[in-house]
Amino acid sequence: MVIRSAWDYSRRIEEFLAWCAFVGPGDPLPELRGEVVVKPNVSAGARDTGRFGPATHGEALALIERIRASGRVAIVQAYLADVDRGGETALREFAEGVLAEVAERFGTPLYARVDVAHDDEGVPVLMELEAIEPCLYLDLVPGAAERFARAVLTS
């Protein structure tokens, strides 16, 4: 099965979770330091997402509790200023390393999108791994849609 569009999954979470299984982190939440971004693990369109500095860590913790109270898992990321400057980008070499790690742990995915930003030293860091993503930007590279269709047919 190939998911063509999953943008409504955040509004139909029970149906979505019945279709797949998530492995939630069992680790305690990290101590909040500096600027952070808090978001749910299941969301779209930046819903229930916020950026918080040290003075507003209490608000960040409140958002984490609201996310958890709704039955979701909160993700806490260090805020990277590069997102303001360049957004999240896909860098091929770094992305291939991330996908190699995923393949080692879970098997090789048919498709995924790796979103990357740079830390303060310019080193690429993983922002998100989108394994269920409706936008693979197939229109940006000639022949990409055809190669994707062939990969689906041969998988």
pLDDT digits (tens, 9 = 90+) for 95-119: 888 889 889 988 888 878 888 888 8
Most confident residue range from 16-25, 107-116, 122-131, 143-152: 143-152
The pLDDT value given to residue 94: 82
The domain spans of the chain are: 1-79, 81-155
Calculate the average pLDDT of the chain. Answer: 78
Whether this model's pTM surpasses 0.85: no
Output the DSSP codes for 102-138. Answer: HHHHH---S--EEEEEE-TTS-EEEEEEESS-S---T
